[in-house]
Amino acid sequence: MALHNMEYRDKKKLSENPNTHKDLLLELATSDNYIIIRNVAQNPNTPIDILRKFAKDESYWIRSYVAENPNTTSVVLRKLATDREWYVRSSVSTNINITEDLVRALAQDNKWTVRAPLAYNATTPLDILKNLATDESPDVRAMIVRNPKISSNMLIRSLEHERSLKDPYDMVIWGLYENPKLPHVAKIIIETLYGDML
């Protein structure tokens, strides 16, 4: 297939398609068009060598797309987890293939925007979720109560933590209330104490 004769929209479709052959993705990776490069970086069928190359791209957006790609190796994720740009580290936090040691390191990141995706990532170990449930950032705590792995006991602990605060965060309260795992008695407590947040 001659890509050089192909129109932009067709190249774009190829770069987005997860079934595009690796050889075509290799050729598309040489494009000077940002959208094509972005799509190749996100494509789960992109060869590891291209992801490794894109992980060094000057654009932090491209590095962040590599960090989110489920095909990105743990070696590349480890490098991106120390990126100077918080957005790239945040993208590593969303990757379902993140290793536990990287989760533990990123859970200590000084940017809440890096910790919040970990709070929602279903692969984050329970002990880290427990620590993040009392995070200083309300946005991190709001993501915890939406984590698909969270237990009803942890939801109750989150409610207790919010109740202990002078100003509980409405997104945490709302997230707790909406979670089907929250026991009925806890929903009644929320309705009684925080009905105005619902």
Does position 36 have pLDDT exceeding 90, yes or no?
yes
Compute φ and ψ for 58, nearest 5 degrees. Answer: -70, -25
Instruction: Tell me what pLDDT residue 3 has.
Output: 75
- The dihedral over CA atoms of 169, 173, 178, 179, expressed in degrees to the nearest 10, equals 100
Scan for tokens 């104490």, then name that residue.
193
Q: How many CA atoms lie within 13 A of 31 on its CB side?
A: 24
Q: What pLDDT does residue 2 have?
A: 67
Distance separating alpha carbons of residues 173 and 197, to the nearest angstrom:
7
User: What number is the average pLDDT over the span 123-132?
Assistant: 95
Identify the band that residue 4 occupies on the pLDDT scale cut at 50, 70 and 90: confident
For residues 29-51, average pLDDT: 96
Place of tokens 């490098």: 79
Output the pTM of the full model. 0.90
pLDDT 10s digits, 42-92: 999 999 999 999 999 999 999 999 999 999 999 999 999 999 999 999 999
Per-residue confidence band for 176, with pLDDT thresholds at 50, 70 and 90: very high
Whether the Cβ atoms of residue 113 and residue 88 lie closer than 8 Å to each other = no
Q: How far is CA 64 from CA 34, 70, 72, 110, 163, in A?
A: 14, 12, 11, 18, 36
> Which residue is it, tokens 């970086």?
41
CA dist., res. 32 & res. 86, Å (int): 25
Mean pLDDT of the residues in the chain: 95
What value does the mean pLDDT take over residues 122-148? 96
**How many residues comprise the chain?**
198
Residue with tokens 């925080």: 194
| Token duo for residue 194 | 């925080």
Residue 156 has pLDDT above 70, yes or no: yes
